[in-house]
């Protein structure tokens, strides 16, 4: 009976061992498993392929020997076994960048039971991510509304909120109703305006943009309405057509319309109502046919209450309102935008750079007060200033607007303090080995350290970023 039990046990062990081998061999990442003393128990064929060290040289060897063979930095293994610190690093094998992740498995007493190291080809990982993003982006566009919009490369609509914006833009493009685009600076109001124009019956005519806040008030009237020869000192001898006139049969896009001087608002209202303009210095009118799209980052309804913006003009331009949410409220769009900007700037500067998932995570955690425009600037800056083709966590990430808070939706003080506390604890975790040392450094109890780490989902993991 004992022999039978022993035989059954051996069969069970052999069966489990076979299943483990099958699992390891089906994984595309390189895997190395070690015992409590650092002796290598198993490696899979993907490890041999990625690292270039034969399995027979690894099995029954110690991690110190593996480090000498160049599989991973010795310091990382020493920390793993001597200090029980997991590691995450990037090394180069044969010109390829490999992510190496080491993890120790501890018993209840804190002693190491076993450890594993995973080797992942980051180039293959990035290609998989970008292929997925391209597929998802394509799928997002292949709805009935988007079937004829194949060249709208600037459209990124992964989030349900942005999909609704694009859906509404396509729907209103077929009619000539006035559209009011609202949203914070940098969310992409002009992009949406161009989409509406491009898919309207006016697509073959001009898209004329004027920034009402960028031109001094005394010059804005002549820019909008134009002037006749000799109308004022400095006027062109032949006169000049205004931007409204140039938008005839096309689309007039008035950006930052809230900055339009109050005295010009009544003149614009008349143009919208009568569809005719009168140049400065002229006694006659000229018919104009245009589609009006206005944009603002302010609440025009509030401005009408304060007599800063004409109420009748507000109702004239607010026929079809479309609000574009800030990037912090549609973070599903961040990764597709990053992939898009990477492609744009890699092509523009003839580069072949990639951004690691660690940096992507920082992007997802940031609030982007400058919205898509800030994200675009940050991606471009990282690409042109990075010394490596792989942009890692070690790269300096400085927001475009350091210390500046958005005009609206100011974060609560509690959230700001929590974010600062989390960043501080992350720095402490990487400097000290134990929670006791961390507690002494921060001047709080060990239990308080553990609670705060649990609160922010922080583990005792040290990141090594080596070439």
Assess contact for 265 and 227: CB atoms under 8 A: no
Q: Output the pLDDT for position 72.
A: 59
> What predicted TM-score, i.e. pTM, was given to this entire model?
0.57
Q: Output the pLDDT for position 289.
A: 95
Structure tokens given for 301: 């309804």
Q: Output the pLDDT for position 464.
A: 32
Degrees, nearest 5: CA angle 126-131-135: 150
Tell me which CATH code domain 330-461 carries. Answer: 1.10.8.60
Q: Determine the Cα–Cα distance for residues 375 and 343; give it in Å rounded to an integer.
A: 14
Q: Determine the Cα–Cα distance for residues 389 and 346; give it in Å rounded to an integer.
A: 11
Q: Output the pLDDT for position 81.
A: 79
Q: Output the pLDDT for position 122.
A: 65
Write down the CATH superfamily of domain 9-125.
PAS domain (3.30.450.20)
Q: Output the pLDDT for position 128.
A: 54
What residue segments make up the domains of the chain, in order of their start?
Answer: 9-125, 145-325, 330-461
Using one digit for the tens of pLDDT, what is the confidence trace for 25-46? 767 788 888 888 888 888 888 8
Q: Output the pLDDT for position 302.
A: 92
Mind spelling out the 3-state secondary structure of 197-245?
HHCCCCCCCCEEEEECCCCCHHHHHHHHHEECCCCCCCCCCCCEECHHH
Pairing of strands 207-211, 226-227: unpaired
Tell me which CATH code domain 145-325 carries. Answer: 3.40.50.300
State which residues of the chain have pLDDT below 70. Answer: 1-21, 24, 26, 66-75, 90, 92-96, 122-154, 393-412, 430-433, 459-467
Q: Output the pLDDT for position 3.
A: 46
């Amino acid at each position: 009976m004992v022999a039978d039990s022993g035989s059954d046990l051996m069969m069970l062990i052999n069966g489990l061992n076979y299943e483990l081998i099958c699992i390891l061999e089906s994984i595309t990442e390189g895997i190395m498993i070690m015992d409590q003393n650092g002796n290598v128990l198993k490696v899979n064929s993907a490890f041999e392929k990625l690292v270039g060290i034969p399995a027979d040289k690894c099995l029954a060897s110690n991690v110190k020997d593996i480090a000498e063979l160049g599989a991973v930095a010795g310091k990382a293994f020493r920390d793993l076994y001597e200090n029980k610190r997991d590691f995450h690093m990037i090394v180069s094998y044969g010109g390829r960048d490999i992510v190496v992740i080491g993890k120790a498995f501890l018993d209840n007493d804190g002693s190491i039971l076993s450890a594993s190291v995973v080797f992942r080809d980051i180039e293959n990982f990035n290609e998989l991510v970008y292929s997925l993003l391209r597929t998802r982006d394509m799928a997002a566009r292949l709805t009935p509304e988007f079937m004829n919009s194949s060249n709208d490369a600037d459209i990124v609509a992964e989030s349900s909120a942005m999909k609704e914006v694009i859906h509404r833009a396509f729907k209103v493009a077929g009619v000539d109703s006035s559209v009011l685009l609202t949203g914070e600076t940098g969310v992409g109001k002009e992009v949406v305006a161009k989409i509406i124009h491009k898919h309207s019956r006016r697509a073959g005519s001009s898209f004329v943009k004027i920034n009402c806040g960028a031109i001094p008030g005394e010059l804005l009237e002549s820019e909008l309405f134009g002037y006749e020869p000799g109308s004022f000192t400095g006027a062109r001898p032949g006169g000049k057509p205004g931007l409204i006139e140039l938008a005839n049969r096309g689309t007039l896009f008035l950006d930052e319309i809230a900055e339009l001087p109050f005295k010009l608002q009544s003149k614009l209202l008349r143009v919208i109502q009568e569809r005719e303009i009168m140049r400065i210095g002229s006694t006659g009118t000229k018919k104009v046919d245009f589609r009006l799209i206005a944009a603002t980052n302010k609440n025009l309804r509030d401005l009408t209450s304060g007599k800063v913006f004409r109420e009748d003009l507000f109702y004239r331009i607010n026929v079809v309102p479309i609000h574009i949410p800030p990037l912090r409220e549609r973070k599903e769009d961040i990764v597709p935008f990053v992939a898009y900007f990477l492609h744009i700037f890699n092509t523009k500067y003839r580069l072949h750079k990639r951004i690691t998932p660690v940096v992507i995570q920082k992007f997802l955690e940031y609030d982007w007060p400058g919205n898509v425009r800030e994200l675009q600037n940050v991606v471009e800056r990282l690409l042109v200033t990075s010394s490596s083709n792989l942009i890692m966590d070690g790269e300096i990430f400085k927001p475009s607007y350091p210390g500046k808070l958005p005009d609206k939706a100011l974060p609560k003080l509690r959230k700001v303090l929590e974010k600062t506390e989390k960043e501080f604890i992350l720095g402490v975790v990487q400097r000290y080995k134990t929670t006791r040392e961390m507690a002494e450094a921060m001047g709080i109890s060990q239990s308080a350290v553990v609670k705060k780490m649990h609160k922010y989902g922080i583990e005792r993991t040290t990141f090594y970023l080596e070439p």
